[in-house]
């Protein structure tokens, strides 16, 4: 008996949804399988389900045989079609493991600028740290490779089952601890599932029955399952290979009667260095004492990255073999923004990092009083100090910082994070969640700003000589109304909350605004005809190209606001690639050419009576904020970490008058 359906589980059957699906399936006696593209796997194995890589909006078939087959199919199809119904978990679908903000990828080539040995890895969690190195390189476990006698097999199977039960019990105890965050809890729960999964345990038992000792069997089976995860074309699932190894290791340690080298003894402020750290080990480590994390394994979507980011611990991951250079280091400095690790820094570097760390800590403490401040100009005009964010997970940090709304929601992450284009519903939910979180403040959502330099699944980008001058941002969107309209419809739906504004990136001519407006109207008419609630929104543009600056007076008559994107504006005004370190000197917002472009824009916007804001990095610079405010800018949007400092700068300006 079988039934097919389209999967509506947000982000597909990743770890947590797969776990839920399995839990449901296990509630039935029948054998149940999930079939995708002709491949059938047991619906009672979360590992097999994850490896099937089922994505949202794909067609699958649920097949069942047994006494309660009808009920099983009903329940499982129900879950796939409406995953939120009947959930007892408030976190909903696509839990933290799949939804963590993915920082920009960084090159992994070694770099040495000033003669100091500097290793380059993946900038996985921002912040700088310097501290004693705490090398955590537990010895590789080797199986004894012993052949079992036939009369030993049953005993070895029991020993293995006991070890699995003991690992699960330890994980259960960790899960029961109060101090575990919701994100960490999800991660540990997923590891617990891997430990119990048939794919792993079934393979181990098979090997033991064939005569392998339990430790050797676990090592071989974990390697095979991990290899399956590594082979899938999905970064998130690739990262699960490390989790499988970590679980296998835990089972082996119990079998060998050994304890993992504990992270309990890590000194205050130390930089944890490891080739790999099990997410479970990290989640239950004394995280408050860890100054930073450096790892050979791991990428931006690995569990280590998710945990360090959510605990504000700077981290550089994915160093590969280069991490071995740190085994004997006594001190390490890391820059989690740039992805740099400096081994045994010289005195000047030590002094520099200590100063940066100390300054950051002192500043953070002193700035807290500005969180609730509403800064004004001397004439009483409120200056909105808003946040630049790229995911719902960053809402809390922005609110904690005292953000007066969102001045730039980069929607690219929503698109880049998935292996398919996000649906209208999913986008509408995301934009609505933002609107509700920041009401009554505005939330400015930027329409998709993607190009050949940042490819995403579902859009074919041509090879371009100059991707920054090519088919990106509004240019791509207007050529792909199927994608663009989906986003505009979602924004119109979210606009019922009344605080959504929309801005267009990379504008270089007025026609781009008028064509967008026509599409917005088309979408609104469609939604009306379909009876879907929606509302209008203010439409603004980013000023990022010299062309936009030069037509700013005319552009100002077409839109509700300007937001100056100094990152791109600087590279285009100076003709200096923002990613090319050899022209970094030219890429300077304080160059008179760039400052005069900003001034021209401000003047045009103020003359037309529209709001002029800024959302490029320069908006958070205390040395430039007074100049921008004098130019007439009334909104500055920046990374949450800069908000309190910016409020302080503006308050000081007003007090001077």
Question: Catalytic residues, which ones?
Answer: 303, 615
For the window 547-566, what string marks contact with Mg ion as x by the rule CB under 5 A? ------------------x-
| 410 binds, options ligand PEP, Mg ion, none, Cβ within 5 to 8 A by partner type | ligand PEP
CB 655 within 8 A of CB 625: no
* Using rule CB under 6 A, residue 568 touches ligand PEP: yes
Q: What is the 3 state secondary structure string of 251-311?
A: HHHHHHCCCCCCCCCCCCCEEEEECCCCHHHHHCCCHHHEEEEEECCCCCCCHHHHHHHHC
Only segment of 76-84, 114-122, 560-568, 625-633 that touches ligand PEP (CB under 6 A): 560-568
DSSP characters over 27-76: TSSSEEEEEETTEEEETT-HHHHHHTT--TT-EEEEEEESTTHHHHHHHH
- State in angstroms the smallest separation of the CB of 145 from Mg ion: 57
398-426 residues labelled b (16+ CB within 10 A) or e (exposed) = beebbbbbbbbbbbbbbbbbbbebbbbeb
* Count of residues near Mg ion by CB under 5 A: 3
Query: Is 96 an interacting residue with respect to ligand PEP (CB under 6 A)?
Result: no
Selection from Mg ion, ligand PEP, none that 615 binds (CB < 5 to 8 A by kind) is ligand PEP
Taking CB under 6 A as the binding criterion, the range among 58-66, 237-245, 301-309, 566-574 that sits at the site for ligand PEP is 566-574
Answer yes or no whether residue 126 interacts with ligand PEP by CB under 6 A: no
Q: In whole angstroms, how close is the CB of 343 to ligand PEP at the nearest point?
A: 31
Among ligand PEP, Mg ion, none, partner that 512 touches (CB below 5 to 8 angstroms by kind): none
Cβ closer to Mg ion: 298 or 565? 565
Q: Taking the CB of residue 242, how many other CB atoms lie within 10 A of it?
A: 23
User: Total residues at the site for ligand PEP (CB under 6 A)?
Assistant: 10
The two structure tokens encoding residue 579: 């990613």
DSSP, collapsed to helix, strand or coil, labels residue 382 as: strand
Q: Which does 566 bind (CB under 5 to 8 A by kind): Mg ion, ligand PEP, none?
A: ligand PEP
Whole-angstrom distance, CA of residue 507 vs CA of residue 66: 60
Pick between residue 298 and residue 616 the one whose CB is nearest to ligand PEP.
Answer: 616
Quick check: 308 binds ligand PEP (CB under 6 A)?
no
Residue 410 binding ligand PEP, by CB under 6 A: yes
281 binds ligand PEP (CB under 6 A): no
Tell which positions 439-458 bind ligand PEP, by CB under 6 A.
Answer: 449
Strand partners, 389: 409
Q: Please list the alpha-helical segments (H only) found in 385-530.
A: 395-401, 412-416, 424-438, 473-479, 481-494, 510-530
Phi-psi domain of 411 (left: phi exceeds 0; alpha: psi -120 through 50; beta: other):
alpha
Q: DSSP states of 177-219 as a string?
A: -TT--HHHHHHHHHHHHHHH-HHHHHHHHHHHHTTB-HHHHHH
Residue 412: CB partners within 8 Å, gap ≥ 6? Answer: 390, 448, 449, 450, 454, 456
Piece in contact with ligand PEP (CB under 6 A), picked from 68-76, 148-156, 210-218, 559-567: 559-567
Q: Considering the rule CB under 6 A, would residue 620 count as an interface residue with ligand PEP?
A: no
Decide: is 339 part of the binding site for ligand PEP (CB under 6 A). no
Under rule CB under 5 A, residue 451 binds Mg ion = no
Measuring CA to CA, which residue among 636, 656, 657 is closest to residue 647?
A: 636
Determine the Cα–Cα distance for residues 281 and 259; give it in Å rounded to an integer: 12
| Choice between 405 and 565, CB closer to Mg ion | 565
| Smallest distance, ligand PEP to C-beta of residue 565, A | 3
Residues with Cβ within 8 Å of residue 629, at least 6 apart in sequence: 377, 383, 650, 653
Nearer to Mg ion, 298 or 505 (CB): 505
Q: Tell which one of 222, 615, 624, 641 touches ligand PEP (CB under 6 A).
A: 615
Closest CA to 245 of 266, 270, 274: 274
Q: Is 252 in the site for ligand PEP (CB under 6 A)?
A: no
* 205 or 544: CB nearest Mg ion: 544
Rule CB under 6 A: which of 491-550 touch ligand PEP?
Answer: 544
Minimum gap (Å) between residue 446 Cβ and Mg ion: 9
Binding site for ligand PEP (CB under 6 A): 408, 410, 449, 544, 565-568, 615-616
Binding site for Mg ion (CB under 5 A): 544, 565, 568
């Amino acid at each position: 008996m079988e039934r097919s359906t389209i999967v509506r589980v947000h982000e597909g059957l990743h770890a947590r949804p797969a776990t839920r699906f399995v839990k449901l399936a296990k509630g039935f006696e029948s054998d149940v399988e999930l079939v995708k593209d002709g491949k059938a796997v047991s619906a009672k194995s979360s590992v097999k389900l994850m490896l099937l890589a089922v994505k949202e909006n794909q067609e699958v078939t649920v097949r069942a045989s047994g006494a309660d087959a009808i009920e099983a199919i009903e329940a499982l199809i129900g879950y796939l079609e409406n995953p939120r119904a009947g959930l007892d978990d408030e976190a909903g679908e696509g839990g933290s493991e799949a939804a963590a903000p993915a920082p920009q990828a960084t090159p992994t080539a070694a770099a040495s600028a000033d003669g100091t040995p500097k290793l380059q890895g993946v900038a996985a969690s921002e912040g700088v740290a310097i501290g004693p190195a705490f090398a955590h390189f537990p010895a590789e476990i080797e199986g004894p490779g012993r052949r079992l006698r036939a009369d030993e097999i049953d005993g070895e199977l029991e020993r293995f089952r006991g070890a699995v039960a003991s690992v699960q019990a330890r994980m259960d105890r960790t899960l029961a601890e109060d101090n575990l965050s919701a994100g960490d809890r999800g991660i540990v729960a997923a590891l617990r599932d891997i430990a119990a999964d048939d794919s792993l345990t079934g393979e181990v038992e098979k090997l033991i029955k064939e005569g392998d000792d339990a430790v050797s069997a676990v090592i071989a089976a974990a390697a095979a399952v991990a290899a399956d995860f590594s082979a899938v074309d999905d970064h998130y699932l690739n990262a699960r290979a490390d989790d499988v190894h970590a679980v296998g290791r835990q089972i082996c340690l119990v079998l060998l009667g050994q304890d993992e080298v504990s992270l309990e003894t890590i000194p205050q402020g130390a930089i944890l260095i490891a080739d790999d750290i099990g997410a479970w080990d990290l989640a239950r480590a004394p995280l408050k004492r860890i100054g930073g994390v450096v790892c050979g394994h791991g990428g931006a979507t690995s569990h280590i990255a998710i945990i360090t980011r959510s605990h504000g611990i700077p981290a550089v991951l994915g160093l590969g073999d280069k991490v071995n250079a740190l085994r004997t280091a006594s001190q390490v400095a890391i820059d989690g923004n740039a992805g740099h690790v400096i081994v045994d820094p010289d005195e000047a570097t030590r002094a520099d990092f200590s100063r940066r760390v100390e300054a950051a800590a002192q500043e953070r403490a002193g700035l807290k009083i500005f969180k609730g401040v509403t800064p004004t100009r001397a004439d009483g005009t409120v200056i909105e100090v808003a946040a630049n964010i790229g995911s719902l997970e960053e809402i809390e940090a922005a609110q904690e910082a005292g953000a007066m709304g969102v001045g730039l929601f980069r929607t690219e992450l929503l698109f880049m994070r998935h292996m398919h284009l996000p649906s209208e519903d999913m986008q509408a939910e995301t934009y609505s969640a933002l609107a509700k979180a920041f009401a009554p403040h505005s939330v400015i959502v930027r329409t998709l700003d993607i190009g050949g330099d940042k490819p995403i699944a579902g859009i074919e980008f041509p090879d371009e000589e100059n991707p920054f001058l090519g088919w990106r941002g509004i240019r791509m969107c207007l050529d792909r109304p199927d994608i663009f309209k989906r986003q505009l419809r979602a924004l119109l739906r979210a606009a019922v909350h009344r605080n959504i504004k929309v801005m267009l990136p990379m504008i270089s001519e007025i026609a781009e605004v008028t064509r967008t407006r026509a599409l917005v109207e088309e979408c609104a008419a469609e939604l009306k005809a379909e009876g879907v609630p929606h509302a209008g929104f203010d439409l603004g543009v980013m000023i990022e190209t010299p062309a936009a600056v030069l037509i700013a007076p005319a552009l100002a008559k077409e839109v509700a606001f300007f937001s100056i994107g100094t990152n791109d504006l600087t590279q285009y005004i100076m003709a200096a690639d923002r990613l090319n370190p050899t022209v970094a000197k030219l890429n300077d917002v304080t160059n008179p050419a760039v400052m005069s472009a900003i001034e021209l824009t401000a003047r045009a916007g103020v003359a037309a009576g529209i709001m002029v804001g800024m959302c490029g990095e320069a908006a958070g610079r205390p040395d430039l904020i007074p100049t921008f405010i004098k130019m007439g800018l009334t909104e500055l949007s920046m990374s949450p970490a800069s908000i309190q400092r910016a409020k302080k700068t503006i308050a000081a300006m007003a007090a001077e008058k």
